[in-house]
Amino acid sequence: MTLLTNHLPTAELQAIDSAHHMHPFTMGQGLREKGARVITSAKGVWMRDSDGAEILDAMSGLWCVNIGYGRDELAEAAARQMRELPYYNTFFQTTHVPALALAQKLAALAPGDLNHVFYASGGSEANDTNIRMVRAYWAAKGQPERDVIIARWNGYHGSTMGGASLGGMKGMHAQGGLPIPGIAHIDQPNWWAEGGEMSPEEFGLARAQQLEAKIQEIGPERVGAFIAEPVQGAGGVIIPPYSYWPEIRRICDAYGILLILDEVICGFGRTGEWFGAQSYDIAPDIMTVAKGLSSGYAPIGASIVSDEITGVLDGIEFSHGYTYSGHPVACAVALENLRIMEEESVIAHVQNTAAPALKEAWESLGDHPLVGETVIKGMMASLALTPDKSRRAAFASPVGTVGTRCRERSFANNLIMRHVGDRMVVAPPLVITPDEIEILITRARKALDECFELLRAEDLYHSA
């Protein structure tokens, strides 16, 4: 058996990591000095590190471990599938049972006429599929000039060339010459930071109408699709005002533009329904899914596609696919994950127990002197750190200075709560209990208190 090195002292593990492992979105030098935290095992919402600390993971890994850690059934499903058929591809007019069974299941769960599944290994790959699929669709319909896809600033759609181009993270665009041609961006519906004097509803409408303005600027005959997350996740859990989505759907209909909903975070119960599409009553033409599809136990993503698009693509060969499109082990794990979600009524637990408890607890943080708005949709929540709630003020320090301190205090209190700029974010496993939510909030409040003290000690408690 391969030797795993869990038994080594933490410092040795960190030294090996530092010597050989390149981390995503990380400044190597800073990490090298500090040493990475080594996670060794996990169960439910709890993780353990190599020093034995018990950490409450309020981020579900990276927004993905929806059913919680340590479910043997998923390990069994993977082992069973590996023994029976560890790999085969779905090219060359071939299929296998895990791929077709999961496609059938996803078609049944997905709203409307989204009845067809194109597999990938994660969300970025699935979004790359979407770019090529949308362009192939319009070309097959005799409108190849409809190659522009509109997306949003501060949206996140992955880290591949296509995914990062769709995303609206300027820091990512700055590395590697992005975005690729044919991608345009409009502003996000972030009322707290950008809403000015408008009411949230007026602002939501105004931000949706930017889509119409952008279509007219580019030329309606050039625009193929609009892509967005129902609720922006990596952008800081930005929950759109209720006026936003109906107006977006109206505009897409008016111009005959495809709507791609990126459900990589929102899908599989995160917003309180199976999909964000259902939480906001939006009918998409394509949905991107990943993460919660397998609760992160195996890498898998997919594009779930409408009858109309599939019907058109049936007339051409869509020259696209990955070695691991429909990987049998990942499909088997996803199927088992969905079985557990259904049989254990995980979404009902969210609706009736976890989301109401988290909402009450999260909103109670609103009385803290550092906290501006607290927002929550289902099991994804954020709060704005501010030096002055009444003005929705930003800090004078560079964005993220305060958020980083708050995250550090959170980690020091064995709570995984993230920061995005100066917003704090949680998205715990959907199976979290009310008692665990209480621990989460006690630790979050302690982190806020300690952060507040730090800001005063460092003279950072000032508005811009």
Residues near ligand PXG, by CB under 6 A:
62, 122-124, 127, 156-158, 163, 229, 233-234, 262, 264-265, 290, 301
Cβ 234 to ligand PXG shortest distance, Å: 3
- Shortest Cβ 262–ligand PXG spacing (Å): 4
Please report how close the Cβ of residue 123 comes to ligand PXG at its closest, in angstroms.
2
For residues 165 and 183, the answer to whether their CB atoms sit within 8 Å is yes
> Shortest approach of ligand PXG to residue 85 CB, angstroms?
24
Give, to the nearest 10 degrees, the angle between helix 401-412 and helix 434-457.
130
Q: Closer CB to ligand PXG, residue 124 or residue 165?
A: 124
Instruction: Specify the residue, 328 or 421, whose C-beta has the smaller distance to ligand PXG.
Output: 421
Tokens 């929950």 locate to 239
Across 229-290, the runs of DSSP E, i.e. the strands, are: 258-262, 286-289
| Helices of type H across 263-376 | 276-279, 307-313, 328-343, 346-349, 355-364
User: Which residue has tokens 């709890």?
Assistant: 46
CA 187 – CA 205 distance, rounded (Å): 12
Is residue 158 left, alpha or beta, with left meaning phi > 0 and alpha meaning psi from -120 to 50?
A: left
Identity of the residue, 151 or 206, whose beta carbon is nearer to ligand PXG in the bound complex: 151
Tell me how far, at minimum, the Cβ of 278 lies from ligand PXG, in Å: 17
* C-alpha closest to that of 149 among 91, 52, 224, 84: 224
Nearer to ligand PXG, 157 or 377 (CB): 157
**Comparison of 229 and 273: residue with beta carbon closer to ligand PXG:** 229
Pairing state between β 148-152 and 223-228: parallel
| Complex with ligand PXG: residue 212 or 279, whichever CB lies closer | 279
Measured from each CB, the residue nearest to ligand PXG is 123
Nearer to ligand PXG, 380 or 455 (CB): 380
Supply 1's token pair.
Answer: 């058996």
Specify the residue, 265 or 455, whose C-beta has the smaller distance to ligand PXG.
Answer: 265
Strands 286-289 and 301-306: antiparallel
Q: Letter for the amino acid at 37?
A: R
- Quote the least distance from Cβ 12 to ligand PXG, whole Å: 28
Residue 199 tokens read as 């009411």
**Is 388 within 8 Å of 199 (Cβ atoms)?**
no
Phi-psi label, residue 268: left if phi above 0, alpha if psi -120 to 50, beta otherwise: left
Rounded (10°) CA dihedral 332, 338, 339, 340: 110
